[in-house]
Structure 1
Amino acid sequence: MVLVKMFVGEELSFLFVESPKFQRFVHALQATFKVSSQTTLTRDIEGLYAEEKMKLQHFLSTNCGRVCLTTDTWTSIQNFTYMRLITHFVNLDWKLHKKKTNFCQVTSHSREVIRATIESCLND
């Protein structure tokens, strides 16, 4: 699970796990450790995502009544448009929280696309 969290946290390419240099590095640290394949890493990250999503849903439903949503959209150098949805709220102990709720590719920066994407994220 530490390897999975490292790949997510550092935003590493899943293919990196199979690179010979990474494999040699891990072997030098611990010769008996078997590094996961790209397929296994993908499956484990999807499992972690599902687990964290359930935790966030439970946390939001038990710790706050209202939220404020913000979005951030941008276009990559490959000309793909992305949107990040962030939820801000004050919990029952009056502590401010900020949670990244979603990150996805969108078709444009238009108001209609952003609205539909936010609605879809919240329904999910």
Structure 2
Amino acid sequence: MKFKDIRDMRQQVLIKQQNKVDGTMSLNTYQFDQVRVRNKLARMVILHEYPLSIVDHIEFREFVADLQPMFKLVIRNTLKSDILKIYDNEREKTLKMTDKNGSRMAITTNMWTSNNKKRGFVYVPSPHTKDVLAEVLVDCLLEWNIDRKLSTITIDNCSTNDVMIRLLLNKLDTSSLMLGGSMFHMRCATHILNLIVQDGLSLIGDGIKRIRDSVIYCIGSPKRRQKFEENAHQLRVQCTKELVLDCKTR
């Protein structure tokens, strides 16, 4: 085929496509789209949580150049802008979906400290007092327009959260809540169960400490680990598992 513009000849290539139903193969033309590929790059960074600096990595730039020389790799600020556009679009779709949905929402919230905040939904400024927590949560509910669509909120069983709930109810329209908000506060059953277990474990804390110290000693070096396995074999202890130090918070 003859092309009037040399750029068209470079953009259009033949690609092989397989029919998922009958397995037949066909050849179709593919035309490169800079905007579409930029969007794919941004979604890749979001999905796999790659750093924005990936577009500055030498090997990545060379890989992209060899894979598709026509793609103009963006700088990190442009990549950040593309990611924020995707967020805005997804947020708009979510708002429309929740507005059409007549059901109520049960939410849960928790606080943790993170160095990069990449997994956090909302940044909470210090100090994390009951007033700050209530204000941030109300702002979030209003931002997503779900303050009148709530059923319950589940939080950890602590005194700070008890006061926060009272402040939250003062800021919300209780007439829009079920039973005037009397069932609004739900205490996390997992957290309560953990408190019960920790209270019970405290009775045998000395024995647990000895076990942990023994495990730490045995796995402290390859020689000790090997000696432990030899002793277990000598005592005919049949086990394929290894000693693992438990995590206290789990």
TM-score (norm 1): 0.70
Q: Provide the secondary structure at the position in 2 that maps to 1:105.
A: coil
1:121 Cα offset (Å): 1.3
Q: Provide the secondary structure at the position in 2 that maps to 1:68.
A: strand
For residue 58 of structure 1, what is the aligned residue in structure 2? 96
Structure 1 pair 6–40 and aligned structure 2 pair: CA distance change class (3 A):
same
For residue 123 of structure 2, what is the aligned residue in structure 1? 105
Q: Deviations over 1:86-110 (max 9, x none)?
A: xxxxxxxxxxxxxxxxx12212554
Structure 1 position 41 matched with structure 2 position 60: no
Give the one of 40, 51, 57 matched to 1:13: 51
Please list every run of 5 or more consecutive structure 2 residues that lacks an aligned counterpart in the other structure: 1-38, 144-250
Relative contact order (alpha carbons < 8 A, sep ≥ 6): 1 or 2 greater? 1
For residue 98 of structure 1, what is the aligned residue in structure 2? none
**Deviating 4+ runs (over 6 angstroms):** 80-83
Q: Provide the secondary structure at the position in 1 that maps to 2:103.
A: coil
Q: Provide the secondary structure at the position in 2 that maps to 1:75.
A: coil
TM-score (norm 2): 0.37
CA distance in 2 between counterparts of 1:24 and 1:59 reads: 41
- Contact preservation (8 Å) 1:4, 1:44: yes
For residue 68 of structure 1, what is the aligned residue in structure 2? 106
Bigger strand share: 1
RMSD of the alignment, in Å?
2.3
For residue 12 of structure 2, what is the aligned residue in structure 1? none
CA distance in 2 between counterparts of 1:25 and 1:44 reads: 21
What is the aligned residue count?
A: 104
Q: Provide the secondary structure at the position in 2 that maps to 1:106.
A: coil
Aligned partner letter, 1:119: V
- Contact preservation (8 Å) 1:72, 1:83: no
CA distance in 2 between counterparts of 1:66 and 1:118 reads: 17
Which has more radius of gyration?
2
Please list every run of 5 or more consecutive structure 1 residues that lacks an aligned counterpart in the other structure: 85-102
